[in-house]
Amino acid sequence: MEIRSFDTALGTVELGALTVLVGPNNVGKSRTLRDMLSLLVHGDRRDTVIVRDLTLEVPTSPSARFHGVRVETSETNKAHRTLYGVNATWSEPLQRSVSEQDHKRLVETPSENLDDSLVRRWLTQFRVSHLDGSSRLRAVEATPSHDANEEQAGNLLQAFFERPEVQNDLCAAFVSAFGMQVRLDISGMKNLRLRVAKDFGSLDPDPRLHRGDISRFPDIDTQGDGYKSFAGVVLALLLSKHRVCLLDEPEAFLHPAQARQLGAWISDHSADLSAQIIMATHNVHFLGGLLGGSSDVDIFRLDRLEDRTSFRLVTSRATHDLTQSPLLSSQPIMEGVFHDGVVVCEGDTDRSFYQAVAMRERAVSDVLFVHAQSKHGLHKAASLMREAAIPVACIADIDILNDETVLQRTVRGLAPHEDHGALLGHRQELARLIGATDEPTALADVRAALAQVIEEMDRDELPITSVRSRLNAVAKTTSKWQRIKESGLARLDPDVRDAAERCLQASAAVGLFIVPVGELEGWIPSDIGRGRKAERFVEAMEKINAGDCPAELREFVAEVRAFVVQVVD
């Protein structure tokens, strides 16, 4: 059985065979799985929040519809059939009594003509698995054995006993993740339990003969939660043929390498499991394993605004481009899918600076800060984030307004369908006004910069090796845009400032936040010369960490964050 699609307040979401739900905290990933479980187990919306209804695809063959379900004539009512199976959490038996007539309809009616209410009333509760952090730990605990000739398996280990052919698959997965073997111990006859060992050696296949030998090995009940969680997830999937498998944070309790291994195993084996798998995760390592596996994965990013949850499909091409981008490959870029959004800065120094401000103000940042190597890479980084359904904004120094091509590319990367004519018109007017700036002002700035260099040389603060670079920096001050970058809006003539502010307002409306003080160094006053950028940066970071952060800077970062967390397509 599969969920072909589900309905929410915002529309219909189509599902495939392998789906993962991602997004920041508290957007409804786990709630979505619980809603699906409720609809499959109870058949109605008695306690759903996000999912309003499901469209189901029922298997065509009766054997698939009732796979793993024992059907017997009722002992108390010969006109009824009793269905025996295992519940969704694989923890206890599931038993239902259905009339002979309804059972006949479930067996004989073609899928396209099968009454949906009949399916939901009698069948779907047997065709779903739901494992969260606690249920998968309980599922592998030692349990009493059962008479497989007379009784239906009532939990995960009893079902495992009836399917010995999956032993090798479970053990192989466990060895890949932990370097340890795992096997079912039935030697005591009364109880079933999983045992783990580096190597079980050559145990006799007759459990009566190896009873003393296998009992020497540790019971999985005495091991860490990582062992139990991994075994619970893998074993449940191996036994969930023709079920809808709902896995809530399957990577919980696992180290990064093992989380990645689990994700890869699910992707590599999903086609052979004959089950639909729908997962919710908040782990970049597990997601990386899924994406690196052999199956196509549908990734849906969830966002929540005004008590409604949106589901946006992230295409496989978008995830490939994002993870393989040379521009971003050195950064934890996939973590962006688990944040409210991403802010792209020009360089790594800018990224560190603005991230420090955000962390200082909120203690835990819900926005990921990355960098694009330079302002020339902003448009590409923004486009990659947007195509991956990740809300995004950019921070750029004010001299981005000096290059119409770079500006145009950046805003189109952020908002390709918007009309940016007004912004570009404001920029052209600003460029015209700046070009008309008087020369005496430029010469005064050069004299001031030279005086600072000479003063530092007189105090022996400037090594001869640094003189050339400082003089080159002074030469840049002859550029009118360079002077604006170093002073920001504060020293501009009123008409020039008005034009610049119109540019900043128009660009911020689409997610490009231009630094009003010109560049990073303009935010925090310093006695250190601008040419000594590294020293100024260290001093600025120390001031931020000490709580000495200007109100204007705090407001700027807050505006960027507010834009990102409220972006909804």
Q: Is 341 exposed, middle or buried (0-12, 13-18, 19+ CB in 10 A)?
A: buried
Picking from 34, 27, 50, the residue whose alpha carbon sits closest to that of residue 389 is 27
Picking from 558, 517, 521, the residue whose alpha carbon sits closest to that of residue 539 is 521
Number of alpha carbons in the 13 Å side-chain half-sphere of residue 40? 28
* CATH code 3.40.50 region(s) in the chain: 2-147+227-310
What's the rounded Cα separation, in Å, for the pair 554 and 358?
A: 8
Q: Is 503 exposed, middle or buried (0-12, 13-18, 19+ CB in 10 A)?
A: buried
Q: For residue 2, give the 3-state DSSP assignment.
A: strand
* Interval 68-94 mean pLDDT: 91
What's the rounded Cα separation, in Å, for the pair 119 and 105?
A: 10
Q: Which region among 76-90, 106-120, 461-475 has the lowest average model confidence (pLDDT)? A: 461-475
What's the rounded Cα separation, in Å, for the pair 53 and 78?
A: 35
Number of Cβ within 10 Å of residue 221's Cβ equals 14
pLDDT computed for residue 379 by the predictor: 97
Tens digits of per-residue pLDDT, 391-428?
Answer: 999 999 999 999 999 999 999 999 999 999 999 999 99
What residues contact residue 512 under an 8 Å CB cut-off, 6+ apart?
A: 378, 393, 394, 396, 400, 407, 410, 411, 414
pLDDT computed for residue 250 by the predictor: 97
pLDDT computed for residue 287 by the predictor: 95
Picking from 384, 376, 379, 370, the residue whose alpha carbon sits closest to that of residue 339 is 370
Per the CB < 8 A criterion, the answer to whether 89 and 125 are in contact is: no
Q: Which two tokens stand for residue 231?
A: 């075994």
Strand ranges, E, within 402-501: none
Question: How does residue 474 score in pLDDT terms, banded at 50, 70 and 90?
Answer: low
pLDDT computed for residue 357 by the predictor: 94
* Interval 464-468 mean pLDDT: 69
Picking from 230, 228, 316, the residue whose alpha carbon sits closest to that of residue 20 is 316
What's the rounded Cα separation, in Å, for the pair 272 and 408?
A: 49
Tens digits of per-residue pLDDT, 492-521?
Answer: 889 999 999 999 999 999 999 999 999 999
Per the CB < 8 A criterion, the answer to whether 341 and 367 are in contact is: yes
- Cβ burial 269-286 (10 Å sphere, 16+ → b, else e): bbeebebbbbbbbbbbbb
- Calculate helix-pair angle for 284-292, 316-324, nearest 10 degrees: 110
Strand ranges, E, within 242-318: 244-248, 276-280, 298-305, 308-314
Per the CB < 8 A criterion, the answer to whether 7 and 1 are in contact is: no
Q: Is 3.40.50 the CATH number for 2-147+227-310?
A: yes
pLDDT computed for residue 557 by the predictor: 95
Per the CB < 8 A criterion, the answer to whether 495 and 501 are in contact is: no
What residues contact residue 443 under an 8 Å CB cut-off, 6+ apart?
A: none
Number of alpha carbons in the 13 Å side-chain half-sphere of residue 293? 24
* Interval 259-279 mean pLDDT: 97
Q: Which two tokens stand for residue 111?
A: 């899928």
Q: Which region among 25-39, 181-195, 252-266, 530-544 has the lowest average model confidence (pLDDT)? A: 530-544
* Interval 301-320 mean pLDDT: 90
From the CA atom positions of the chain, what is the Rg in Å?
31
pLDDT computed for residue 569 by the predictor: 42
pLDDT computed for residue 568 by the predictor: 47
What's the rounded Cα separation, in Å, for the pair 78 and 56?
A: 31
pLDDT computed for residue 135 by the predictor: 95
DSSP track, 503-520: HHHHHHTTTEEE-TTSSG
pLDDT computed for residue 371 by the predictor: 96
Share of the chain above pLDDT 90, in %: 71
CA 240 to the chain's CA centroid = 26
What's the rounded Cα separation, in Å, for the pair 407 and 427?
A: 9
DSSP track, 16-29: -SEEEEE-STTSSH
What's the rounded Cα separation, in Å, for the pair 473 and 467?
A: 10
pLDDT at 177 over 60: yes
CA 132 to the chain's CA centroid = 18
